Amino acid sequence: MERRKAVHTVVSLLLLICFTLSGCHGATRPHVIFIVADDLGWNDVSWHNPQMITPNLERLARNGVILNSSYVQQVCSPSRNCFMSGKYPYHTGLQNGIIRPLSPRGMPLSVTALPQKLKEVGYSTHMVGKWHLGFCNWKYVPTFRGFDSFLGYYLGAEDYYIHTRDAGYDLRLDDKVYTFPNGTYSTYVFGQRAVDVINGHDPATPLFLYLPFQAVHEPLQVPKKYEDMYAHIHNYKRRVFSGMVTAMDEAVGNITRALESTGLMENSVIIFTTDNGGPIVGGANNFPLRGAKATLWEGGTKGSAFVYSKNLMNKTRYTNTEMIHAVDWFPTILHLAGATPDPTTDGVNQWATVSEGAPSARTEFVYNINDIAENAAIRVGKYKLIKGSAGRYNGWYPPPTVDSDLEVDSSLYYQRRNDTYRLYDIEADPTEHFDLASQLPQIVSMMRDRLENYRKSMVPAGDLPDDPAGDPKNFGGVWSPGWC
């Protein structure tokens, strides 16, 4: 073992020298570990909230680059679409929400997914965790979208121990139903699989490991030892949710140690982000940001995120406030890999922004354009324009202390007419307390025109009626492809 570690260390150092001097190609490209937490709120990590127990994540964040203006979509499938395609959801028909279990659709097959692009330049690609980008046809699933291996599940909101959703089993190893870990907490399953991938990887080949955890999405389930770490929290949902965060943090610690012991860390980039803001009725918290998951407020769209690399960044241990969007990870990772994104990609390469502190490569982005709810939002410079309703949760919600704290004031739920606009200066007012629309009509007009210009390229949402052909009872009680 010691000899193997020494060999890996020497190889990694040689690769690092070649990468730094730009005199080598192929194997010199960095390993990329892309970790996604599910439903993690702004206030659910220790570098924003010291009451949270996330020492492993914080160590990486504090020694890397904390991203304080990193944006995601307001719900799950649209964000994962951004990561895998580099395209806004309104350009792929996924703008109106998640892909439901019986929905006969997925991320369009016309899209070349991130792992497919990485395979073209010699990367070994592995996925562990939650897909949620369609599975009704085999062509939609991870192993048909560029991943060499896949251990995870196709849907969302599974039971953490028995791995079922709505009476259907949903856990796969590659394309086969995987029943071996039945009864094992999924954070353990996924964390151990990631460690196994790392330990079995040849360091001479660049690695892309996509690790979208099930944690910390509902259902609220966690081994008791983690819940007990938050015994002082009397709100049940908040206590269990917090324990789930710490369980995930422990898995990240195990993964980090595997990267160190194999020598891969010397030439790795770790990206960590949530997929959307936290659901306040599910124990998560986004305070002091306004709103929650499924809203266009900052609490639904500004994600906890960081980037860590031991040797490949010129500037570390700082907080980056430059504008970054979920679609940017696609071209940024391709840049690290020495690949080029398609010209139609909505994302921009942000590596100089992250690694050197350079100004952001973008000055604006689209939060979303929803053609069913008829709401939308756009950011241009420091200003944010919201058209119509921002969503259901419109208030500011401190961390709950007792169970009654989770009873959201219904007076804060109001439906704006679809033709009304709100304007906020996010730099001066990041918590969105002051609507400036009436004071700055020219800014509203300019941003409204830009939003409508973006709308012209919108692909109609691919929402389709649920198809009972996908019912797991038709596949022996398992959620399976092959019905669309």
The DSSP symbol for 359 reads P
Q: Of 354, 342, 348, nearest to 326 (Cα)?
A: 348
Assess contact for 170 and 178: CB atoms under 8 A: no
- Contacting residues for 230 by C-beta, under 8 A, at least 6 apart: 53, 238, 239, 242, 243, 246
370 vs 94, 344, 448, 477, CA distance in Å? 9, 20, 15, 34
How far apart CA 190 and CA 206 sit, in angstroms, is 21
Tell me which residue has tokens 């007009």. 445
Strand partners for 150: 127
How far apart CA 408 and CA 393 sit, in angstroms, is 8
C-alpha dihedral, 217 to 111 to 95 to 428, nearest 10°:
80
Candidate list 8, 31, 126, 132, residue with the active-site label: 132
Tokens of 48: 């924003």
Q: How many CB atoms lie within 10 A of CB 378?
A: 23
How far apart CA 236 and CA 231 sit, in angstroms, is 10
User: Would residue 76 show up in a list of annotated catalytic residues for this protein?
Assistant: yes
User: Would residue 132 show up in a list of annotated catalytic residues for this protein?
Assistant: yes
Q: Of 290, 444, 302, 448, nearest to 376 (Cα)?
A: 448
Tell me which residue has tokens 């770790």. 270
Cis peptide before 141 (omega within 30 of 0): no
Assess contact for 276 and 286: CB atoms under 8 A: no
Q: How many CB atoms lie within 10 A of CB 398?
A: 10
Candidate list 76, 82, 136, 484, residue with the active-site label: 76
How far apart CA 349 and CA 355 sit, in angstroms, is 12
Cis peptide before 288 (omega within 30 of 0): yes
- Contacting residues for 448 by C-beta, under 8 A, at least 6 apart: 385, 387, 421
Burial pattern 209-239, b for ≥16 Cβ within 10 A else e, equals bbbbbbbbbbebbbeeebbebbeebebebbb
Catalytic residue set: 76, 132
